[in-house]
Chains A and B, each alone.
Chain A
């Protein structure tokens, strides 16, 4: 006896839809290359009776199309809940009344479920389709990124949920109409992390005047609803905190409260080098320390400078001249090994959070340490990175991604000021790795993974550290609120040694063949989120 229950229920609330667009939407479901679906259409009190008449015509043509009409307009969340109540599929897929599914959308989702039967949430890449049918603005998304989702509804479309997890959270909430999809995503993923990304454009979001596909500002109520959804999510985490506006309307940066007054141990390995910056000689570690001491609004920190045996005699008097009791020093025996120096500093640290800092950085934003601490204290997060700039203001670091297991900085040398690719320069963003030039990590995590690996005396030790943190189940996040200058490579060999590169690849080549936070559709050797000509 065949199983007659459909695998997928496509949920589509309809309200005063443009007939041609609605026809295309329904046709895009009918044309799926997988048969096991039903389409649950709810006319949410459309003023024009022709809308429901159109639905009736389609329902008469295909028994999998199920329809219902509501006499009054109840809003998108409640209309979706009515459709959910009609649905009998194991998975529910949300489709807006003027958007389009790619013919293979549901079969691709079915294949992903077959690969990972325990999955609760699936999402795909998407693009926009204009009034003349042109496709543009593809969004090639990262894999599951919980902190990114707090700032921006990046799951967007297509999102498919296991029916049971939607039921378990009570469906959609009308109090968040306009951002009901974001609210649902947050409430569901508060309860499950079984989330899978299918990195293919399987959904076309129709951009018509007045839609949020064109601009969030078209629906100001959606911004208020979004803030409500994220604020409620923050409350559910039990950490407390606030949701502050990001540069674009409808985007936010979640700032959890700092619990207590934890001691942060800043570990700075230094050889006491000088260099010319903007034509002026700079004593790097002094410049770094002065900026930390003068510009850091968070007060409870200590600094451990790790000196080389062979230069300590020169550097110590310089540090002594700063007259600050928060600074301690320790001498690292030769031969030089950067990782060992950092580990040594960590051994002497008293704080519950370690902040690894290169001596060639300079603090810009007062709240840098607070912003990093806010994220570092969250249990699932194992490492927090910062946004770093060259002296000329271009981006030095805003996250690290790997292409074929070769790591590199995203948007390297990009001009500052923009929001990046879909907000990744403006929002808390998940990465597999961040630079160790400025990296906060809980001391307990540092100990758990064995600190920086001394197998990497100069390069890759920070990336390797983040990957180790990742395999232990912690997340790595970059906060845009921690901003520093990084006068890069003034204190080390600028090019990685072949030995270190080969070792790195032998350790991580298999696992990091595809970086989960850099979509495989991006093209080119630069890590600039360059999109292909066709997709």
Chain B
């Protein structure tokens, strides 16, 4: 019998939320980079926020890596497909 389409997973699974948060963090960081570029050297507080964002991004990336390690390699059992290749 021909396989029907499948429901990919639940969008509120922690792993999915983490990945969305990671995208959000990278978007935020890019904005901050842009802002910094415009205001370079003129707003010290902005540079401090930038450092905080970078720490937040690193934390999220570490959590995703940890999650990927625990979920395993079988794409059938995973809520998303590319796993280890997700990270740059």
Q: Considering only CB atoms and an 8 Å cut-off, how many residues of chain B contact the other chain?
A: 35
List the one stretch of B15-23, B40-48, B65-73 in contact with chain A. Answer: B15-23
A280 at the interface (CB under 8 A from B): no
Distance in Å from the Cβ of B25 to the closest Cβ of chain A? 7
Please indicate the chain A residues that have their CB under 8 angstroms from the CB of B82 in the complex: 349-352, 443
Q: Please measure, in the bound complex, the distance between the C-alpha atom of A471 and the C-alpha atom of B30, giving whole angstroms.
A: 9
Per the 8 Å Cβ criterion, residues 1-32 of B in contact with A are: 2-12, 16, 19-20, 22-31
Please indicate the chain B residues that have their CB under 8 angstroms from the CB of A340 in the complex: 20
Please indicate the chain A residues that have their CB under 8 angstroms from the CB of B4 in the complex: 320, 323, 325
Q: Which of B7, B11, B25, B79 has the most CB of A within 10 A?
A: B11
Is the CB–CB distance between B5 and A450 below 8 Å?
Answer: no
B38 at the interface (CB under 8 A from A): yes
Please indicate the chain B residues that have their CB under 8 angstroms from the CB of A332 in the complex: 11
Contact of A327 among B5, B31, B85 (CB under 8 A): B5
Per the 8 Å Cβ criterion, residues 381-435 of A in contact with B are: none
Is the CB–CB distance between B7 and A347 below 8 Å?
Answer: no
Q: Please measure, in the bound complex, the distance between the C-alpha atom of A181 and the C-alpha atom of B25, giving whole angstroms.
A: 46
Is the CB–CB distance between B8 and A330 below 8 Å?
Answer: yes
Q: Which of A304, A448, A468, A511 has the most CB of B within 10 A?
A: A468
- Nearest CB to that of B3 among chain A residues? A325
Complex interface bits, A318-356 against B, C-beta within 8 A gives 1, otherwise 0: 011011111111111100000010011011111110000
Please indicate the chain A residues that have their CB under 8 angstroms from the CB of B19 in the complex: 347
B75 at the interface (CB under 8 A from A): yes
Q: Please measure, in the bound complex, the distance between the C-alpha atom of A439 and the C-alpha atom of B32, giving whole angstroms.
A: 25
Please indicate the chain A residues that have their CB under 8 angstroms from the CB of B31 in the complex: 507
Is the CB–CB distance between A450 and B81 below 8 Å?
Answer: no
Please indicate the chain B residues that have their CB under 8 angstroms from the CB of A451 in the complex: 23, 26-27
B59 at the interface (CB under 8 A from A): no
Q: Please measure, in the bound complex, the distance between the C-alpha atom of A443 and the C-alpha atom of B88, giving whole angstroms.
A: 10
Distance in Å from the Cβ of A464 to the closest Cβ of chain B? 9
Is the CB–CB distance between A447 and B23 below 8 Å?
Answer: yes
Is the CB–CB distance between A344 and B5 below 8 Å?
Answer: no
A449 and B20 in contact (CB under 8 A), knowing A322-B5, A329-B5, A330-B9? no
Distance in Å from the Cβ of B29 to the closest Cβ of chain A? 7
A502 at the interface (CB under 8 A from B): no
Contact of A448 among B7, B16, B26 (CB under 8 A): B26
Q: Which of B22, B23, B81 has the most CB of A within 10 A?
A: B23
Q: Please measure, in the bound complex, the distance between the C-alpha atom of A329 and the C-alpha atom of B8, giving whole angstroms.
A: 6
- Nearest CB to that of A443 among chain B residues? B82
Is the CB–CB distance between A350 and B81 below 8 Å?
Answer: yes
Is the CB–CB distance between B2 and A328 below 8 Å?
Answer: no
A450 and B23 in contact (CB under 8 A), knowing A320-B5, A329-B5, A471-B30? yes
- Nearest CB to that of A455 among chain B residues? B27
Is the CB–CB distance between B30 and A333 below 8 Å?
Answer: no
17 interchain pairs, CB-CB under 8 A: A304-B8, A326-B5, A329-B7, A331-B10, A343-B20, A347-B80, A349-B82, A351-B82, A443-B82, A444-B88, A447-B22, A447-B23, A447-B88, A450-B25, A455-B27, A468-B27, A507-B34
> 5 smallest A-B Cβ distances: which pairs?
A350-B81, A450-B27, A450-B26, A325-B3, A327-B5
Given contacts A347-B20, A347-B80, A443-B82, 15 further A-B contacts (CB under 8 A): A323-B4, A325-B3, A326-B5, A327-B5, A328-B8, A330-B7, A344-B20, A348-B80, A350-B82, A351-B82, A453-B27, A455-B27, A471-B30, A471-B33, A507-B34
